[in-house]
Amino acid sequence: MLRLWIPLLLSTALVFPAQATEPTADAVNTAELRKRPPAEDKTDPVAIRAQVLLDRAHVSPGEIDGRFGDNAQKALAAFAAAKGLKSGAKLTQELWAALTQQDQEPAIVSYRITKQDVKGPFLNPMPKKLEAMKDLPAIGYATPREALAEKFHMSEDLLSALNPGKAFDKADEEIFVANVVAFPENAKDGRAEKSKAKPESKAEFKDKKDQSKPKLAPITRLAINKDEGTVQAFDKDNHMVAFFPATVGSEEKPTPEGTFKVTSRDADPNYRYNPDYEFHGVKSQKPFTIKPGPNGPVGSYWISLSIGNGYGIHGTAEPSKVGKTESHGCVRMTNWDARFLGEHLAKKATVEMH
């Protein structure tokens, strides 16, 4: 994945302690692991940096929130296993070294909000019930802040903490974000302003992007652990190439076990509710359709499985709850993880539900 970034002026000041609740870009980018691993319930620059590095290594910690909770620990354990290291869910000096030495780009970069980011339309207040969504033209984001947070795989709280006093609804506003995606227009503009150099042409940017983008082998097999809430992705040589946290089924609507096939992949899908699903709180006795959108019932991406009766892998409107709440039987991931997975799946990939 290409990562173009704007150089930041990094200070040599001491990093914030674990209890810091308002981290800065400098604190995160210069953070080093102390004797104690980052806490699960407090924002920590070390945790932020580690989460960004895991995300860029295709070992997803889910939503980057600055707290080293269950999803980050699962990702770290998968990273350790892939590297053949003994350490697991606990962030040790050995694992910290492996993370930081293989990827030395800054974890936090500056980003200029675009007109597209604030264009909308935004849906606020957001309907809470499925039946209230069926007549809407789209189920978009509630606010520009929510859209920007999801664009950079972050929680809204962390985005706000990194940008105190900033407005997220104004184009051209400079903000700090997690360095997890490519944004060539902003990277180009920022570099030109800081260096006074001649901006690169679109062709030069395309060439650079094509040359530097790492290629991920097609994913031919998924191993989904229902109890642990994890999705492991393997290539044809049985090497794990990606990892994701997930919510898998519930006691009321458990996901079937067995081996299945991927039958289709759909970005920005419509959602069709069938009364046979018998979802709690839905009173309609007739089928209805909900238009696409990141805050829809299946988020912004859908992967159909050969299970039947509407089972699949999909995104969610609530990334903070992935791996922490129950689903209606499907495999629920963050929108960005579901899309990344779908875009790298081989045709008729095998899906094993354990």
Catalytic annotation, residues: 314, 330
271 phi, psi to nearest 5 deg:
-120, 125
d(CA 336, CA 300): 8
Q: Are 82 and 98 in contact (CB under 8 A)?
A: no
d(CA 64, CA 109): 14
Exposure string (b/e) for 53-80, b if CB count within 10 Å is 16 or more?
bbbbbbbbbbbbbbbbbbbbbbbbbbbb
Residue 276 per-residue DSSP state? G
- Report the length, in residues, of the chain: 354
Torsion angle defined by CA atoms of residues 274, 279, 282 and 287, in that order, rounded to the nearest 10 degrees: 0
Quickly count: other Cβ atoms within 10 Å of residue 2's Cβ.
16
Closest residue by Cα to residue 77 from 292, 224, 198, 230: 230
Cα 271 to Cα 17, 130, 133, 268, distances in angstroms: 45, 10, 10, 10
For residue 50 the two structure tokens come to 């580690």
Question: Helix H segments across 12-92?
Answer: 25-29, 45-56, 70-83
For residue 186 the two structure tokens come to 């902003």
For residue 264 the two structure tokens come to 């289709």
d(CA 262, CA 285): 30
Exposure string (b/e) for 188-212, b if CB count within 10 Å is 16 or more?
bebbeeeeeeeebeeeebeeeeeee
Q: 3-state secondary structure string, 299-311?
A: CCEEEEECCCCCC
